[in-house]
Amino acid sequence: MTTLLISHPACLVHDMGEGHPEQPDRLRVIDRAMESEVFQMLARDVAPRAEFSAIARVHPLDYIEAIRAATPSQGRTAIDDETSVSPGSFEAALRSAGGAIFAVDEVMTRKVRNAFVATRPPGHHAEVATPMGFCFFNNAAIAARHAQAVYGAERVAIVDFDVHHGNGTQHIFWDDRTVMYASTHEMPLFPGTGEIGDRGEHGQIVNAPLRAGDGGEAFREAMEVAILPRISDFAPDLIVISAGFDAHRRDPLANLNLVEADFVWVTRRLMEIAQRRCGGRIVSVLEGGYDLDALARSVAAHVTALMEG
C-alpha cells in the first residue's frame, strides 16, 4: 500500500481577492513541491464533488443551499470581514469536502495506507451552520462522519495542529463520545476558543494551547503529555489530521516557531499510534499555512513522512 495525494483544479478557482492570505497560490506551490522526484511513487487522484447528503451529516441542507445561493456569478460576496465567495467558491468547497470523503473511502477499504488531501477552502473553523475563518464546510468533521456512517467506525480521532483552534470541529463534536478532538494552537489568537478547560461533555475534547513565541520543544511536549497518550487510549478506528502549517515560524498570521522537522515528528508519532490502534489508517486534510515557501516545504515534509509508513 502507498500514500494517496488528492487535489482538484477547481480548488484554484476559489478567490477571496488580491492580497488575501487564503489564496490560490497556496495550492500552486504545493503542486510544484509534489513534482519532485521524491514523490514519484505517490498515488494521485482528483477530488470528487461531495454529495449534499454526505455534507449534511455535519451541516444542515438549508445551510448548504445558503452557501450555494450566496455564490455570485461574478465578483465577490462577503460572508464576514475575512471570508467571501467568488464564482468558483461553491464548487471548490464541494471538491474540498469530497476529497476528504474520498480519502476516507480509499483508506478504510485499504486501497492505500494513508492519504493527504491538498484542497481549499479549509474547514476547521466552519460551525454547523456558520461559515467563518476562510471556511465553509468542515472537511475533517465530514470525513469523520463518513467513516462512521459508511464504514462503521466506532471511534474517530481528529488531531489538529493548525496554529488557530478549530472552533467548528470542537463545537460539532462537543457532546459526542465517539469522536475525540485534540488541538495544539496559539492562544490568545483567532478565533479565541480552545481553553485547556474545554473538555466536551464526555472528556473527549483535548486542548493544549501554546503561547506566542513557543517553538518545537513546547509543541512536542504538549503533544507528548496532553494529546498523544489520549489518542492512543481512545483507540480510534481512524485518525483524521487537520493539517495546518501556520504554526511555522515564517507564517505571517501567527507567532509560533515550528519548523518542518516538527511537522515530520508529529506525523511520525501519529503514524505510530495509528499502526498500533487502527491498522495505520490516517486521513490528513489541509487547513492553514500562509507563507508560501514555508507551506510548500512543510507539506513536502509531512507527505514524505506519511510515505514512510
| SS3 state of residue 1 | coil
Is 43:5 a contact under the CB 8 Å cutoff?
yes
Is 283:238 a contact under the CB 8 Å cutoff?
yes
Residue with cell string 486521513: 283
Which residues, 6+ apart, have CB-to-CB distance to 152 below 8 Å? none
- Burial status of residue 25 (CB atoms within 10 A of its CB: 0-12, 13-18, 19 or more): exposed
Is 134:121 a contact under the CB 8 Å cutoff?
yes
Which position among 14, 59, 124, 125 bears the catalytic label?
125
The answer, yes or no, to whether the previous bond of 252 is cis (omega within 30 of 0) is no
Cell triple for 120 = 481549499
Is 3:306 a contact under the CB 8 Å cutoff?
yes
Our answer to whether residue 125 is catalytic in this structure is yes
Q: How far is CA 174 from CA 185, 203, 306, in A?
A: 18, 9, 29
- Which residue in 194, 186, 270, 208 sits closest to 234, CA to CA? 270
Q: What is the DSSP letter of 132?
A: B
Which residues are known to be catalytic?
125
